[in-house]
Amino acid sequence: MIGRLNHVAIAVKDIKAASAVYRDTLGAEVSDVLPQPEHGVNVVFIKLPNTKVELLEPLGENSPIAKFLEKSPDGGIHHICYEVDDILAARDQLKAQGARVLGNGDPKIGAHGKPVLFLHPKDFLGTLVELEQA
């Protein structure tokens, strides 16, 4: 069902400072900041030869990333994203197997402009999983 690893997302307090670490220290190609108000975050993508790293900065105190940073003030890995060929078929198969889809179960448009869903971390070894339509 799952395809390639699309990205690993890291929650950060300061997206510009975090971007500088990847750009200036590690020599990575870093995107511009992309505001995603419908998800409550600003995002930056670090482009790697085989995948991406997504930096997430909260937009306001109601952001899910703000809540994550309350528990992990230094930031850290927030979720992992896998591609799927058909997000609705993947959702239906996972739900039939007892997995919990977060929210109302309908895909939202993610930072790449493609439909995404999130799966409950308790169903996936303590890891928040994002699925993105390939």
Give CA–CA dist 58/124, Å, rounded: 24
Strand partners, 83: 132
Q: How high is the pLDDT of residue 86? A: 98
Cite the active site residues. Answer: 130
Q: Give the burial class of 24: count Cβ atoms within 10 A of its Cβ; 0-12 exposed, 13-18 middle, 19 or more buried.
A: exposed
| Average pLDDT of the residues in 99-112 | 95
Angle, CA 77 vertex, CA 38 and CA 8 arms, to 5° = 75
To the nearest whole number, what is the mean pLDDT of the chain?
97
The CATH number of the domain where 56 resides is what?
3.10.180.10
Total structural domains within the chain: 1
> CB-side exposure of 110: number of CA atoms within 13 Å?
24
115's enclosing H/E stretch is: strand 115-119
Q: How high is the pLDDT of residue 68? A: 96
Amino acid at 13: K
- Domain residues for the domain of 101 are 2-133
- With contact defined as beta carbons under 8 Å apart, do 72 and 11 qualify? yes
| Average pLDDT of the residues in 9-35 | 97
Pairing relationship of beta strands 76-84 and 129-133 according to DSSP bridges: parallel
What is the pTM (predicted TM-score) of this model? 0.94
CA 89 vs. chain centroid, Å, equals: 20
Give CA–CA dist 31/46, Å, rounded: 6
CA-based max dimension of the chain: 46
